């Protein structure tokens, strides 16, 4: 019997595991470390977020990205984009040195059990645990427009399906979307020798401005404060006060999660993108089908292509043909996309308004005791910081505090890593030294809608 099984070994899963081990919890960590970063993002990408906002979380705060880079002579700093591969290597290093070893087992089912939960793996192992933390990243929530879903993956894919873009050399590729993933994928395609274009509903592309200096006058800092998610009071709020965001009415939280920090390209990408990638803005794909055209590289027969039917904002229609469509159209957090979650759990969990995201307590516990969530699915509760690595620093200690409460209540014994009592409402429970308390006030749940994620 385990106290906690962490499903997922990305930034959130590894951070939770680090805090859980320090708290004295008996746990297992299941998943390939940094899998989505290592296997599902094109080579040559850079982090959009600042290096200072991209550290994983351990109780002592010693295993930071800055410390990792300093030991290896890698220059990092404000306004200096960090290669994705460097961040991936850092996360893998964090998993080896600051958390229990992750086991590369594929979880196929998480189901209720009289003792808590039964976790099944594709490798045939079954684990019984008092609590589960689902930190499964964004891949299960990849969104493709309905008009593209009838096409095979050889013709239409999601941006997360590609690690090596060189296979598109010499091909005409249409990238759908107006956010960083779309724009950077298109730029990388051009640099690999493909002929990309971007098609988007947006009437124009938005580009972030270069970050402002960290040290500014008092008035400038007061009017436009700096935060991990950028400058300005809204970004400061989403970055510094996720707990306060949770106390807002559900409809407002869902609006914030959907619209705050919307699609935009990084300032450093613009000079690579604009000279090489044509755009077709203000157009919606209304239909897509296969068409014969081009020549197969082997055999000389006709190759299938994609015909896209487009409608402009003024109602005019047009078509275009392309060799492949890459949908860089974000992610939609929806519990029903979690095939590994037992159907009884999926159907009975309380939701945030009428969205597909789970309602969560202040310590990330769902309405089913012992089932915790981290990452994208928590953005409708805690705000847009949960769409970024930065959110792991807030999530990990609080989620582990909740797990400790649950485990102590179930087994009736104090945890060896606990150092202080938790709030008055649970006087018998002990929590890890690193955990931080928050007020228990919760906002009313009213109707809302979904949320899209950014890297």
Task: Evaluate whether residue 231 is within a structural domain.
Answer: no
Task: Evaluate whether residue 15 is within a structural domain.
Answer: yes
Round to whole Å and give the CA distance between 360 and 350: 8
Please determine, for residue 298, whether its predicted confidence score (pLDDT) is greater than 90: no
Task: Evaluate whether residue 169 is within a structural domain.
Answer: yes
Are residue 158 and residue 47 in the same domain, yes or no? no
Task: Evaluate whether residue 390 is within a structural domain.
Answer: yes
Task: Evaluate whether residue 78 is within a structural domain.
Answer: yes
Please determine, for residue 435, whether its predicted confidence score (pLDDT) is greater than 80: no
- Could you count the other beta carbons within 10 Å of the beta carbon of residue 72? 11
Give strand pairing partners of 289. Answer: 307
The predicted structure's pLDDT at residue 404: 97
Give strand pairing partners of 196. Answer: 173
Residue 444 vs residue 330, higher pLDDT = 330
| % residues pLDDT > 90 (the chain) | 75
Please determine, for residue 223, whether its predicted confidence score (pLDDT) is greater than 70: yes
Number of residues assigned to the chain: 455
Are residue 172 and residue 319 in the same domain, yes or no? yes
Lowest mean pLDDT among 70-74, 178-182, 219-223, 431-435: 431-435
Are residue 288 and residue 173 in the same domain, yes or no? yes
Are residue 133 and residue 41 in the same domain, yes or no? yes
Count of domains observed in the chain: 2
Round to whole Å and give the CA distance between 347 and 335: 9
Are residue 321 and residue 401 in the same domain, yes or no? no
Task: Evaluate whether residue 201 is within a structural domain.
Answer: yes
Model pTM? 0.87
Residue 109 vs residue 258, higher pLDDT = 109
Round to whole Å and give the CA distance between 46 and 199: 22
Are residue 153 and residue 137 in the same domain, yes or no? no
Residue with tokens 């203000």: 282
Round to whole Å and give the CA distance between 29 and 197: 41
Instruction: Please state whether 177 falls in left (phi above 0), alpha (psi between -120 and 50) or beta.
Output: left
Q: Where are the alpha helices (DSSP H) in 278-390?
A: 343-348, 379-382
Residue 268 belongs to domain spanning: 146-207+264-327
Give strand pairing partners of 6. Answer: 29, 133
**Can you read off the two tokens belonging to residue 306?**
């994609």
Task: Evaluate whether residue 278 is within a structural domain.
Answer: yes
Domain-ending residue, one of 327, 346, 373: 327
Q: What is the pLDDT of residues 69-111, one digit of tens each?
A: 999 999 888 888 999 999 999 999 999 999 999 999 999 999 9
Task: Evaluate whether residue 414 is within a structural domain.
Answer: yes
Round to whole Å and give the CA distance between 285 and 145: 9
- Could you count the other beta carbons within 10 Å of the beta carbon of residue 63? 23
Are residue 406 and residue 424 in the same domain, yes or no? yes
Lowest mean pLDDT among 239-243, 345-349, 444-448: 444-448
**Can you read off the two tokens belonging to residue 74?**
């890698």
CATH code at position 302 = 3.50.50.60
Are residue 129 and residue 82 in the same domain, yes or no? yes
Please determine, for residue 444, whether its predicted confidence score (pLDDT) is greater than 70: no
Q: Are 177 and 262 in contact (CB under 8 A)?
A: no
Round to whole Å and give the CA distance between 108 and 81: 37
Please determine, for residue 350, whether its predicted confidence score (pLDDT) is greater than 50: yes
**CA distances from residue 44 to 81, 82, 84, 185 in whole angstroms, order as listed:** 12, 11, 7, 10
Q: Where are the alpha helices (DSSP H) in 159-232?
A: 180-191, 218-223
Are residue 317 and residue 299 in the same domain, yes or no? yes
Please determine, for residue 56, whether its predicted confidence score (pLDDT) is greater than 70: yes
Average of per-residue pLDDT across 206-215:
88
The predicted structure's pLDDT at residue 439: 31
Are residue 289 and residue 194 in the same domain, yes or no? yes
Please determine, for residue 433, whether its predicted confidence score (pLDDT) is greater than 50: no
Pairing of strands 418-421, 430-432: antiparallel
Are residue 277 and residue 391 in the same domain, yes or no? no
Are residue 173 and residue 53 in the same domain, yes or no? no
Please determine, for residue 422, whether its predicted confidence score (pLDDT) is greater than 70: no
Round to whole Å and give the CA distance between 429 and 406: 9
CB within 8 A of 414, min separation 6: which ones?
Answer: 408, 430
In the DSSP assignment, the letter for residue 71 is H
Residue with tokens 């891949």: 139
Please, which pLDDT band fits residue 294 given cuts at 50, 70 and 90?
low
What is the residue-averaged pLDDT of the chain? Answer: 88
Domain-ending residue, one of 278, 297, 327: 327
Q: Are 5 and 127 in contact (CB under 8 A)?
A: yes
Dihedral pair phi/psi, residue 200, rounded to 5°? -150, 150
To which H or E segment does residue 28 belong?
strand 27-30
Distance between alpha carbon 421 and the CA centroid of its chain, in Å? 32
């Amino acid at each position: 019997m385990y106290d906690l099984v962490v499903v997922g070994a990305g930034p959130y899963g590894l951070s939770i595991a680090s805090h859980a081990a320090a708290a004295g919890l008996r746990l297992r960590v299941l998943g390939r470390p940094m899998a989505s970063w290592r296997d599902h993002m094109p080579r040559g990408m850079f982090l959009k977020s600042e290096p200072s906002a991209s550290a994983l979380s351990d109780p002592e705060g010693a295993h930071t990205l800055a410390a990792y880079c300093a030991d290896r002579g890698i220059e990092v700093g404000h306004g200096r984009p960090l290669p994705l591969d460097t961040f991936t290597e850092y996360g893998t290093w964090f998993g080896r040195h600051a958390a229990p070893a992750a086991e590369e087992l594929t979880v196929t089912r998480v189901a209720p059990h009289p003792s808590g939960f039964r976790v099944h793996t594709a490798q045939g192992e079954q684990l019984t645990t008092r609590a589960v933390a689902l930190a499964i990243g964004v891949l299960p929530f990849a969104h493709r427009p309905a008009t593209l879903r009838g096409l095979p993956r050889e013709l239409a894919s999601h941006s997360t399906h590609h690690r090596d873009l060189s296979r598109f050399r010499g091909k005409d590729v249409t990238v759908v979307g107006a956010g960083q993933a779309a724009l950077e994928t298109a730029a990388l395609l051009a640099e690999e020798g493909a002929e990309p274009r971007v098609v988007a509903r947006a009437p124009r592309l938005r580009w972030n401005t270069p970050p402002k200096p960290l040290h500014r006058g008092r008035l400038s800092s007061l009017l436009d404060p700096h935060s991990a998610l950028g400058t300005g009071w809204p970004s400061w709020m989403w970055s510094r006060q996720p707990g306060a965001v949770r106390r807002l009415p559900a409809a407002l939280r869902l609006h914030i999660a959907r619209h705050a920090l919307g699609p935009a390209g990084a300032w450093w990408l613009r000079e690579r993108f604009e000279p090489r990638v044509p755009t077709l803005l203000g157009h919606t794909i209304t239909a897509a089908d296969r068409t014969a055209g081009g020549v197969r590289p082997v055999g000389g027969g006709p190759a299938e292509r994609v015909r896209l039917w487009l409608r402009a904002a003024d109602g005019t229609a047009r078509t275009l043909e392309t060799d492949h469509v890459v949908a860089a159209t974000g992610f939609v957090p929806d519990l029903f996309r979690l095939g590994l979650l037992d159907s009884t759990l999926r159907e009975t969990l309380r939701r945030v308004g009428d969205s597909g995201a789970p309602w969560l307590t202040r310590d990330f516990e769902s309405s089913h005791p012992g089932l915790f969530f981290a990452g994208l699915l928590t953005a409708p509760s805690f705000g847009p910081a949960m769409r970024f690595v930065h959110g792991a620093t807030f999530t990990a200690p609080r989620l582990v505090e909740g797990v400790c409460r649950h485990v102590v209540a179930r087994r009736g014994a104090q945890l060896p890593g606990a150092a202080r009592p938790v709030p008055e409402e649970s006087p018998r429970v002990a929590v890890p030294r690193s955990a931080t308390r928050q007020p228990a006030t919760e906002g009313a749940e009213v109707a809302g809608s979904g949320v899209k994620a950014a890297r």
